[in-house]
Structure 1
């Protein structure tokens, strides 16, 4: 991506990496899933948020409305958090959701979908579609809904769109994907070319997370699992953001190319020097702040565009 007015110093970026690695390196063979989830929430979920937070139940699922000052109550970003389908929650992503609510000037609904290994695929996908159904039942129009997600949450946003399209359903206005995991076979070239530059995620870890999410019988190439292998026609406009040093870089680049070839309106942003879901570090990284503003502009533009004129 082109140079920005302000870029992170090496010291700022290294500080962020050390914080993330301090959690990853504390985990061992005997670390329980419950401890991993608590550690992840503690890493990301302690920031204060400049938004109102309201808990809500969607069936048996917990969710939160995140509303920044001035947000349009009629328009909603339905957010799916990352964490490899094993960790992460609305708590760990509350500050990021608040930032998106502020930048996009709309409410954000964060979903605590079911996690593996207790609940393997398609539990999370079922939950994502159920949350969309719940919003529709509440009177929210599809054209007033956006999907967004990071990492595994980006997977979920895309697979939900594909499943809804396959069912002939009306789709949301668009989707935002941050460091999306579109290929659970981890076959992209960046798993090799970025192996040295990515300080956090390597191919063996990605494949282990995929096995954990799918179970022994799961097919990592199924289009409702790995959207890279899906027929992508008919999807709404997409904003795809990814860091240049990520091993999952190809997941975004290859997916964006395939989506464009299928006629989807896709904007791909590859951010220089950035790591996995760098948008979660706005206090440290100017790029995180700029990326959030780009998300907000993309969402606001589509919400203000008549649905009849949108490219599908």
Structure 2
């Protein structure tokens, strides 16, 4: 199977979702969430990984436990989905692949979702899980916040919130295709409009309304880290696909963090779609990206 064919598995899923959303503009949130719970489909089930449901710090989620992993090392994984869709179930296979590659355990949060729960509920849930992991005996530097899309935003803003509260930070932060621009101003929304199979300004606008409502400023730093102070932020790894509309969300965070002296690594992979690591186990490109993250992660240990 060629890599072009394997990428089709993700692009085709996004194309199908886009057609369903276009045909059902008033789609109920329950159906919207059901569709996005298909996100795991392009991901091959990782071998030698078991799963356990648990509530940590008052937040339900799924532990991904690779055989032989160092469970003192924890990936605090916040799923994508515009803060309103996606779940621990839709992301457990991806989180399992990352945990297995890094030799760590991963806890995928089922954080409170919009529109029922607006910002900062999602950040607060992440902080609560982090605090509970530390209370259980894990060292803060052994916890990595990680997430994709809106969850990539949360991986960053959970670390920012901990800093704001004067608490120890996670050792490292990893963000796949982070969606951070709550003002919907990115240039690649326009330039990559024809190549991104899922993201549109209209889709993002609806999700922004859901999580921020009418009262929260879209320039609030813990909602939009393009406005955050990155002084003292942990080392940061981000990736994105060159074909996706959100690629300049990652490049702008890179610029802002680097200007504050943060150790930043950004991997923009040619021709890939939004959150292309969902192709883990199916695509050599995705597996090579996880291998790069493994090398980066080991350097911080």
TM-score per shorter chain, which class? over 0.9
CA deviation after TM superposition for structure 1 residue 7, in Å: 7.5
Match of 2:271 among 267, 273, 280: 273
TM-score, scaled relative to structure 1: 0.91
Flag structure 1 segments of 5+ consecutive residues without an equivalent: 1-5, 304-312
Q: Which residue of 2 aligns with 1:148?
A: 146
- Check whether the contact 1:128–1:160 (CA below 8 A) recurs between aligned residues: yes
Q: Which residue of 2 aligns with 1:242?
A: 240
Q: Which residue of 2 aligns with 1:220?
A: 218
Match of 1:8 among 3, 16, 19: 3
RMSD over equivalenced CA pairs, Å: 1.7
The equivalences for 1:172-183 within 5 A come to 172-183=170-181
Match of 2:280 among 279, 282, 285: 282
Q: Which residue of 2 aligns with 1:37?
A: 33
Q: Which residue of 2 aligns with 1:21?
A: 15
Supply the distance in 1 between the matched residues of 2:3 and 2:46 (Cα, whole angstroms): 22
The equivalences for 1:103-118 within 5 A come to 103-118=101-116
Distance 1:284 1:49, change over 3 A: closer
Supply the distance in 2 between the matched residues of 1:287 and 1:49 (Cα, whole angstroms): 16
Distance 1:143 1:43, change over 3 A: closer
Distance 1:57 1:15, change over 3 A: closer
Supply the distance in 2 between the matched residues of 1:196 and 1:20 (Cα, whole angstroms): 13
Moved more, 189-198 or 168-177: 189-198
CA deviation after TM superposition for structure 1 residue 285, in Å: 2.4
Q: Secondary structure at the match of 2:88?
A: coil
- Check whether the contact 2:44–2:281 (CA below 8 A) recurs between aligned residues: no
TM-score, scaled relative to structure 2: 0.94
The equivalences for 1:121-136 within 5 A come to 121-136=119-134
Aligned length: 297
Q: Secondary structure at the match of 1:200?
A: coil
Q: Which residue of 2 aligns with 1:91?
A: 89
Flag structure 2 segments of 5+ consecutive residues without an equivalent: none
Moved more, 135-144 or 59-68: 59-68
